[in-house]
Structure 1
Amino acid sequence: DLMTLASIVEKEAKLPEERPVIAAVYMNRLRAGMLLQADPTVQYALPQHEARLLYKDLKVKSPYNTYRHLGLPPGPIASPGTASIVAALYPAHVPYKYFVAAPDGHHEFRVNYKDHEAAVREMRREREALSRADAARNDTTRTRPPTKKRD
Protein backbone atom coordinates (compact mmCIF):
# COMPACT_ATOMS: atom_id res chain seq x y z
CA ASP A 1 0.00 0.00 0.00
CA LEU A 2 2.86 2.36 0.79
CA MET A 3 4.38 2.03 -2.67
CA THR A 4 0.98 2.37 -4.34
CA LEU A 5 0.23 5.60 -2.48
CA ALA A 6 3.77 6.85 -3.13
CA SER A 7 3.35 6.14 -6.85
CA ILE A 8 0.18 8.26 -6.98
CA VAL A 9 1.96 11.08 -5.14
CA GLU A 10 4.86 10.76 -7.60
CA LYS A 11 2.57 11.27 -10.60
CA GLU A 12 0.43 13.97 -8.97
CA ALA A 13 3.00 16.30 -7.38
CA LYS A 14 4.94 18.78 -9.45
CA LEU A 15 6.44 20.70 -6.52
CA PRO A 16 8.52 18.76 -3.98
CA GLU A 17 7.07 20.64 -1.01
CA GLU A 18 3.55 19.53 -1.97
CA ARG A 19 4.28 15.79 -1.84
CA PRO A 20 3.51 15.35 1.90
CA VAL A 21 0.36 17.47 1.55
CA ILE A 22 -0.90 15.45 -1.43
CA ALA A 23 -0.16 12.22 0.46
CA ALA A 24 -2.15 13.62 3.40
CA VAL A 25 -5.12 14.45 1.17
CA TYR A 26 -5.28 10.86 -0.06
CA MET A 27 -4.84 9.50 3.48
CA ASN A 28 -7.64 11.79 4.70
CA ARG A 29 -9.90 10.52 1.92
CA LEU A 30 -9.09 6.90 2.72
CA ARG A 31 -9.83 7.45 6.43
CA ALA A 32 -13.14 9.13 5.55
CA GLY A 33 -14.19 6.25 3.25
CA MET A 34 -14.13 8.53 0.22
CA LEU A 35 -13.09 7.70 -3.32
CA LEU A 36 -9.51 8.81 -3.99
CA GLN A 37 -10.48 10.29 -7.37
CA ALA A 38 -6.83 10.49 -8.39
CA ASP A 39 -6.41 11.51 -12.03
CA PRO A 40 -3.07 9.68 -12.42
CA THR A 41 -4.78 6.36 -11.66
CA VAL A 42 -7.24 6.96 -14.49
CA GLN A 43 -4.41 7.98 -16.82
CA TYR A 44 -2.68 4.71 -15.93
CA ALA A 45 -5.87 2.74 -16.68
CA LEU A 46 -6.41 4.28 -20.12
CA PRO A 47 -5.01 2.50 -23.18
CA GLN A 48 -3.34 5.76 -24.27
CA HIS A 49 -1.94 8.39 -21.90
CA GLU A 50 -4.04 11.53 -21.91
CA ALA A 51 -2.59 14.73 -20.46
CA ARG A 52 -6.06 16.18 -19.87
CA LEU A 53 -8.76 13.79 -18.80
CA LEU A 54 -12.26 14.06 -20.20
CA TYR A 55 -15.43 13.20 -18.29
CA LYS A 56 -15.76 9.97 -20.31
CA ASP A 57 -12.26 8.92 -19.21
CA LEU A 58 -13.40 8.90 -15.58
CA LYS A 59 -15.77 6.05 -16.45
CA VAL A 60 -13.08 3.66 -17.72
CA LYS A 61 -13.63 0.18 -16.32
CA SER A 62 -10.48 -0.73 -14.46
CA PRO A 63 -9.56 -1.62 -10.89
CA TYR A 64 -7.08 1.27 -11.17
CA ASN A 65 -9.86 3.81 -11.70
CA THR A 66 -10.13 5.45 -8.29
CA TYR A 67 -13.17 7.43 -9.46
CA ARG A 68 -15.09 4.12 -9.52
CA HIS A 69 -13.36 1.98 -6.89
CA LEU A 70 -12.86 2.71 -3.20
CA GLY A 71 -9.42 2.49 -1.71
CA LEU A 72 -6.05 2.27 -3.33
CA PRO A 73 -5.63 0.65 -6.74
CA PRO A 74 -4.29 -2.93 -6.80
CA GLY A 75 -0.69 -1.84 -7.27
CA PRO A 76 1.65 1.07 -8.03
CA ILE A 77 1.05 3.16 -11.14
CA ALA A 78 4.67 4.35 -11.41
CA SER A 79 8.06 3.98 -9.80
CA PRO A 80 8.02 6.46 -6.93
CA GLY A 81 11.11 8.40 -5.99
CA THR A 82 12.46 8.67 -2.48
CA ALA A 83 10.64 11.96 -1.80
CA SER A 84 7.27 10.43 -2.68
CA ILE A 85 7.96 7.36 -0.53
CA VAL A 86 8.91 9.59 2.41
CA ALA A 87 5.75 11.68 1.82
CA ALA A 88 3.60 8.54 1.88
CA LEU A 89 5.34 7.38 5.08
CA TYR A 90 5.09 10.79 6.75
CA PRO A 91 2.16 12.72 5.27
CA ALA A 92 1.63 16.29 6.40
CA HIS A 93 -0.75 16.93 9.29
CA VAL A 94 -3.36 18.91 7.38
CA PRO A 95 -7.17 18.71 7.21
CA TYR A 96 -7.41 18.92 3.41
CA LYS A 97 -9.49 16.45 1.40
CA TYR A 98 -9.42 18.21 -1.97
CA PHE A 99 -6.99 19.86 -4.34
CA VAL A 100 -6.87 21.22 -7.85
CA ALA A 101 -3.85 21.97 -10.01
CA ALA A 102 -3.18 25.58 -10.95
CA PRO A 103 -1.87 26.47 -14.41
CA ASP A 104 1.63 27.03 -13.01
CA GLY A 105 1.77 23.50 -11.55
CA HIS A 106 1.13 24.22 -7.86
CA HIS A 107 -2.01 22.91 -6.19
CA GLU A 108 -4.77 24.70 -4.31
CA PHE A 109 -5.82 22.64 -1.28
CA ARG A 110 -9.25 22.79 0.38
CA VAL A 111 -10.97 21.18 3.36
CA ASN A 112 -14.54 20.99 2.03
CA TYR A 113 -16.15 20.32 -1.32
CA LYS A 114 -17.87 23.71 -1.61
CA ASP A 115 -14.54 25.53 -1.29
CA HIS A 116 -12.94 23.01 -3.65
CA GLU A 117 -15.56 23.72 -6.32
CA ALA A 118 -14.84 27.45 -6.00
CA ALA A 119 -11.11 26.74 -6.42
CA VAL A 120 -11.83 24.57 -9.48
CA ARG A 121 -13.83 27.42 -11.05
CA GLU A 122 -11.00 29.87 -10.33
CA MET A 123 -8.36 27.57 -11.84
CA ARG A 124 -10.58 27.06 -14.89
CA ARG A 125 -10.85 30.84 -15.32
CA GLU A 126 -7.07 31.16 -15.00
CA ARG A 127 -6.52 28.44 -17.63
CA GLU A 128 -9.00 30.04 -20.01
CA ALA A 129 -7.36 33.46 -19.58
CA LEU A 130 -3.95 31.94 -20.30
CA SER A 131 -5.33 30.15 -23.36
CA ARG A 132 -6.82 33.38 -24.69
CA ALA A 133 -3.53 35.20 -24.11
CA ASP A 134 -1.60 32.42 -25.89
CA ALA A 135 -4.05 32.48 -28.78
CA ALA A 136 -3.71 36.25 -29.11
CA ARG A 137 0.10 35.99 -29.12
CA ASN A 138 0.01 33.27 -31.75
CA ASP A 139 -2.67 34.84 -33.94
CA THR A 140 -1.02 35.41 -37.31
CA THR A 141 -4.21 36.69 -38.93
CA ARG A 142 -4.08 40.02 -37.12
CA THR A 143 -3.10 42.90 -39.30
CA ARG A 144 -0.24 45.16 -38.47
CA PRO A 145 -0.73 48.90 -38.43
CA PRO A 146 0.23 50.48 -41.74
CA THR A 147 3.82 51.58 -41.94
CA LYS A 148 4.95 54.81 -43.52
CA LYS A 149 6.52 54.41 -46.88
CA ARG A 150 10.00 55.84 -47.08
CA ASP A 151 10.86 58.02 -50.05
Structure 2
Amino acid sequence: MAVWDYQVILYPQDNKAIMTEEGIDFVGIHEFSFDQIVEQLVSTGKVKKGSVQRQWNSFAEDCYYIYKDRTSLIEIEINDGVKEEQVRTLSLRTNIYKPEGDIKSLITLAKMLSIELALSIWDMRLKSIVDKEDEESLQRTIQNYNSYKQRS
Protein backbone atom coordinates (compact mmCIF):
# COMPACT_ATOMS: atom_id res chain seq x y z
CA MET A 1 0.00 0.00 0.00
CA ALA A 2 1.40 3.35 -0.99
CA VAL A 3 1.39 6.17 1.56
CA TRP A 4 -1.07 8.12 -0.58
CA ASP A 5 -3.58 5.23 -0.88
CA TYR A 6 -6.39 4.12 1.38
CA GLN A 7 -6.86 0.38 0.92
CA VAL A 8 -9.30 -2.28 2.00
CA ILE A 9 -8.88 -5.99 1.33
CA LEU A 10 -11.83 -8.29 0.77
CA TYR A 11 -11.38 -11.96 1.58
CA PRO A 12 -13.68 -14.97 2.18
CA GLN A 13 -15.55 -14.41 5.45
CA ASP A 14 -14.77 -17.94 6.68
CA ASN A 15 -11.03 -17.23 6.50
CA LYS A 16 -9.11 -15.36 9.21
CA ALA A 17 -7.08 -12.16 9.03
CA ILE A 18 -3.90 -12.60 11.07
CA MET A 19 -1.32 -9.91 11.82
CA THR A 20 2.25 -11.11 11.26
CA GLU A 21 5.67 -9.47 11.46
CA GLU A 22 5.46 -8.83 7.70
CA GLY A 23 1.97 -7.32 7.86
CA ILE A 24 -1.32 -9.11 7.30
CA ASP A 25 -2.01 -12.66 6.18
CA PHE A 26 -5.39 -14.07 5.22
CA VAL A 27 -5.50 -17.68 6.35
CA GLY A 28 -8.03 -20.34 5.43
CA ILE A 29 -9.12 -22.73 2.74
CA HIS A 30 -11.97 -20.67 1.32
CA GLU A 31 -11.72 -18.92 -2.03
CA PHE A 32 -14.08 -17.31 -4.52
CA SER A 33 -14.36 -17.54 -8.29
CA PHE A 34 -12.32 -15.19 -10.50
CA ASP A 35 -15.11 -15.13 -13.09
CA GLN A 36 -17.71 -14.38 -10.42
CA ILE A 37 -15.79 -11.41 -9.06
CA VAL A 38 -15.25 -9.99 -12.56
CA GLU A 39 -18.97 -10.43 -13.29
CA GLN A 40 -19.89 -8.58 -10.09
CA LEU A 41 -17.44 -5.76 -10.82
CA VAL A 42 -18.58 -5.24 -14.40
CA SER A 43 -22.27 -5.41 -13.40
CA THR A 44 -21.86 -2.12 -11.50
CA GLY A 45 -21.59 -0.31 -14.84
CA LYS A 46 -18.76 1.83 -13.44
CA VAL A 47 -15.96 -0.73 -13.47
CA LYS A 48 -13.78 -1.29 -16.52
CA LYS A 49 -10.64 -3.27 -17.09
CA GLY A 50 -7.64 -1.09 -16.34
CA SER A 51 -4.17 -1.09 -17.78
CA VAL A 52 -1.36 -2.25 -15.53
CA GLN A 53 1.32 -1.30 -18.01
CA ARG A 54 1.83 2.07 -16.35
CA GLN A 55 1.35 0.68 -12.84
CA TRP A 56 2.83 -2.77 -12.26
CA ASN A 57 4.35 -4.70 -15.15
CA SER A 58 4.35 -7.97 -13.22
CA PHE A 59 0.55 -8.02 -12.76
CA ALA A 60 -1.76 -9.93 -15.08
CA GLU A 61 -3.82 -7.51 -17.15
CA ASP A 62 -7.01 -9.45 -16.25
CA CYS A 63 -6.49 -8.74 -12.54
CA TYR A 64 -6.59 -4.95 -12.64
CA TYR A 65 -9.80 -2.92 -12.87
CA ILE A 66 -10.81 0.69 -12.37
CA TYR A 67 -14.03 1.97 -10.81
CA LYS A 68 -14.64 5.45 -12.15
CA ASP A 69 -17.58 7.78 -12.01
CA ARG A 70 -17.78 11.56 -12.42
CA THR A 71 -15.99 12.28 -9.16
CA SER A 72 -14.17 9.20 -7.90
CA LEU A 73 -11.55 6.66 -8.90
CA ILE A 74 -10.94 3.31 -7.22
CA GLU A 75 -8.25 0.84 -8.25
CA ILE A 76 -9.24 -2.82 -7.98
CA GLU A 77 -6.67 -5.59 -7.90
CA ILE A 78 -7.74 -9.22 -7.95
CA ASN A 79 -5.65 -11.91 -6.23
CA ASP A 80 -2.51 -9.80 -5.83
CA GLY A 81 -2.29 -9.48 -9.61
CA VAL A 82 -2.11 -13.24 -10.26
CA LYS A 83 -4.81 -14.69 -12.51
CA GLU A 84 -6.11 -18.00 -11.19
CA GLU A 85 -9.55 -19.64 -11.28
CA GLN A 86 -9.94 -19.21 -7.54
CA VAL A 87 -9.26 -15.93 -5.73
CA ARG A 88 -8.17 -15.38 -2.12
CA THR A 89 -8.18 -11.56 -1.94
CA LEU A 90 -9.53 -8.49 -3.65
CA SER A 91 -7.90 -5.11 -3.04
CA LEU A 92 -9.72 -1.78 -3.37
CA ARG A 93 -7.65 1.43 -3.22
CA THR A 94 -8.45 5.11 -3.50
CA ASN A 95 -6.08 8.05 -3.30
CA ILE A 96 -6.07 10.12 -0.14
CA TYR A 97 -4.51 13.28 -1.56
CA LYS A 98 -6.12 13.64 -4.99
CA PRO A 99 -9.60 15.06 -5.60
CA GLU A 100 -10.80 11.79 -7.17
CA GLY A 101 -10.06 9.90 -3.95
CA ASP A 102 -13.43 8.91 -2.49
CA ILE A 103 -13.78 6.73 0.59
CA LYS A 104 -17.59 6.65 0.42
CA SER A 105 -17.54 5.12 -3.06
CA LEU A 106 -14.86 2.67 -1.92
CA ILE A 107 -16.94 1.63 1.11
CA THR A 108 -20.11 1.32 -0.98
CA LEU A 109 -18.34 -0.90 -3.52
CA ALA A 110 -16.64 -2.98 -0.81
CA LYS A 111 -19.90 -3.46 1.06
CA MET A 112 -21.79 -4.49 -2.09
CA LEU A 113 -19.10 -7.01 -3.09
CA SER A 114 -18.78 -8.36 0.43
CA ILE A 115 -22.52 -9.01 0.64
CA GLU A 116 -22.79 -10.54 -2.84
CA LEU A 117 -19.75 -12.81 -2.45
CA ALA A 118 -19.77 -13.51 1.33
CA LEU A 119 -16.53 -11.60 1.96
CA SER A 120 -15.06 -9.80 4.94
CA ILE A 121 -13.48 -6.34 4.69
CA TRP A 122 -10.07 -5.53 6.19
CA ASP A 123 -9.05 -1.87 6.59
CA MET A 124 -5.29 -1.73 5.96
CA ARG A 125 -4.80 1.60 7.78
CA LEU A 126 -6.84 0.74 10.86
CA LYS A 127 -5.53 -2.84 10.81
CA SER A 128 -8.98 -4.16 11.62
CA ILE A 129 -12.08 -5.76 10.16
CA VAL A 130 -14.79 -3.42 8.94
CA ASP A 131 -18.20 -4.78 9.94
CA LYS A 132 -20.37 -4.22 6.87
CA GLU A 133 -23.50 -4.53 9.05
CA ASP A 134 -22.40 -1.94 11.63
CA GLU A 135 -22.69 1.73 10.71
CA GLU A 136 -20.20 2.73 13.43
CA SER A 137 -17.58 0.41 11.96
CA LEU A 138 -18.12 1.82 8.47
CA GLN A 139 -17.96 5.37 9.84
CA ARG A 140 -14.67 4.61 11.63
CA THR A 141 -13.07 3.86 8.24
CA ILE A 142 -14.58 6.99 6.69
CA GLN A 143 -13.38 9.15 9.59
CA ASN A 144 -9.89 7.65 9.44
CA TYR A 145 -9.67 8.39 5.70
CA ASN A 146 -10.89 11.95 6.32
CA SER A 147 -8.26 12.50 9.01
CA TYR A 148 -5.53 11.59 6.49
CA LYS A 149 -7.14 13.80 3.84
CA GLN A 150 -7.24 16.80 6.21
CA ARG A 151 -3.50 16.47 6.84
CA SER A 152 -2.77 16.96 3.14
TM-score above 0.5:
no
Tell me the TM-score normalized by structure 2: 0.29
